[in-house]
């Protein structure tokens, strides 16, 4: 295997320094770049014969190219999400050929976890309220803010979707001595905190001060946070979403904020994206939105390329690949 030359197809657009790193580090392998390089992994890719003729696909290939190719042996996504590839026919096609699929979730885990922590601290310490008092009013809002600020210590947080991001978030929250509960479809027993199934979590929602949504998109999670689930939250609780926008019944969330059935929402993802300027979510009370930047960090694109190259070395040697999803 180390002596075999692979054809690597890439349709991810990287900055020049990251592209140069990729070109200079693939060794004796052949790199084929798509004529339609994708700026965002949310863009629907085009079907391309070059993808079906490659051994390795890097970026966001069209799912039909993955299925129809008789040659591809490994697909590496430059995203953490893989909703468009979460299909039985695609998994079957890969397995029939003994091919693999990996993603880049470990590139984004720390950044996403830090984003949630920033959200939680911003809410607890009422940073948005202080900023609104400063601009444009230049108001010294001592009495109100002093009354409302809180500490995370001793509060309860429930994390829905207990994967790598959640594990890193648990590490970051350890100094705050919170009562943390994880939620996943199947409890494995190796989780670092108390972890329950969805059915058990519903009964625990009224205890939560912080409800953290890290659920990926998919048939089982679409509209997961319904009026009934949001209605179980106490009126002083905050809701955070860095998973996917379609996991939340968005009109119901707006109504819950407007009627003060929940205290706040901090969202990095919405439906749709970009969120139109006229969408009522923008003006919902105590709703704070960042534009899907939770995974972003300095040198992000070089990290994505390095992650692929590390996995390429493993693939050459027949070793287990990192972040395998199929």
More confident residue, 132 or 40: 132
Q: How far apart are CA 51 and CA 72, in angstroms?
A: 8
Please compute the mean of the pLDDT values over residues 270-295 and round it to a whole number. Answer: 97
Tell whether 145 and 230 lie within a shared domain.
yes
pLDDT confidence of 1, banded at 50, 70, 90?
very low
* Position 55 in a domain: yes
Q: What is the residue-averaged pLDDT of the chain? A: 96
Tell whether 98 and 143 lie within a shared domain.
no
Tell whether 230 and 113 lie within a shared domain.
yes
78 as an active site residue: the answer is no
Tell whether 190 and 281 lie within a shared domain.
yes
Any bridge partners for residue 92, and if so which?
none
Tell whether 163 and 246 lie within a shared domain.
yes
Q: How far apart are CA 209 and CA 233, in angstroms?
A: 8
Instruction: Provide the domain count of the chain.
Output: 2
14 and 23 Cβ atoms separated by less than 8 Å: no
What are the tokens at 281?
A: 């979510």
Tell whether 91 and 115 lie within a shared domain.
no
What are 154-191's pLDDT values in tens digits? 999 999 999 999 999 999 999 999 999 999 999 999 99
Which pLDDT belongs to residue 245?
96
Tell whether 84 and 139 lie within a shared domain.
no
Handedness of CA 100, 7, 46, 165 (dihedral sign): positive
What is the Cα 104 distance to its own chain's centre?
A: 10
Confidence check: pLDDT of 213 > 70 = yes
Which pLDDT belongs to residue 3?
55
Confidence check: pLDDT of 113 > 80 = yes
- CA angle, 165 then 167 then 170, to 5°: 110
What are 233-269's pLDDT values in tens digits? 999 999 999 999 999 999 999 999 999 999 999 999 9
Catalytic residue among 76, 78, 115, 292: 292
More confident residue, 217 or 249: 249
What are 6-45's pLDDT values in tens digits? 999 999 999 999 999 999 999 999 999 999 999 888 888 9
Domain containing residue 164: 109-289
């Amino acid at each position: 295997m180390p002596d075999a030359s692979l054809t690597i197809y890439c349709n991810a657009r990287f900055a020049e320094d990251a592209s140069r790193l990729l070109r200079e580090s693939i060794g004796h392998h052949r790199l084929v770049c798509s004529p339609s390089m994708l700026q965002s992994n949310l863009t629907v890719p085009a079907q391309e014969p070059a993808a079906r003729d490659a051994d390795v696909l890097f970026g966001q290939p069209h799912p039909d190219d993955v299925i129809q190719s008789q040659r591809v042996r490994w697909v590496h996504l430059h995203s953490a999400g893989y909703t468009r590839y979460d299909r039985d026919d695609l998994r079957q096609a890969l397995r029939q050929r003994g091919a693999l699929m990996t993603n880049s979730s470990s590139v984004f885990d720390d950044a996403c976890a830090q984003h949630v922590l920033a959200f939680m601290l911003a809410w607890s310490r009422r940073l948005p309220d202080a900023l609104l008092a400063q601009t444009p009013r230049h108001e010294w809002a001592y009495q109100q803010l002093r009354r409302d600020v809180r500490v995370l210590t001793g509060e309860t947080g429930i994390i829905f979707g207990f994967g790598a991001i959640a594990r890193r978030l648990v590490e970051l929250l350890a100094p705050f001595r919170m009562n943390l509960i994880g939620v996943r479809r199947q409890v494995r027993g190796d989780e670092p905190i108390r972890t329950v199934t969805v059915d058990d979590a519903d009964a625990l929602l009224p205890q939560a001060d912080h409800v953290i949504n890290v659920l990926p998109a998919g048939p089982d999670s679409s509209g997961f946070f319904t009026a009934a689930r949001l209605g179980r939250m106490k009126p002083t609780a905050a809701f955070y979403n860095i998973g996917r926008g379609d996991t939340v019944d968005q009109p119901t969330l707006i109504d819950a904020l407007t009627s003060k059935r929940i205290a706040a929402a901090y969202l990095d993802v919405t439906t749709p994206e970009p969120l139109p300027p006229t969408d009522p979510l923008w003006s919902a009370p105590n709703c704070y939105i960042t534009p899907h930047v939770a995974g972003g960090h300095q040198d992000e694109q070089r990290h994505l390329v390095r992650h692929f190259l590390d996995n390429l070395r493993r693939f050459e040697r027949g070793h287990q690949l990192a972040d395998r999803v199929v």
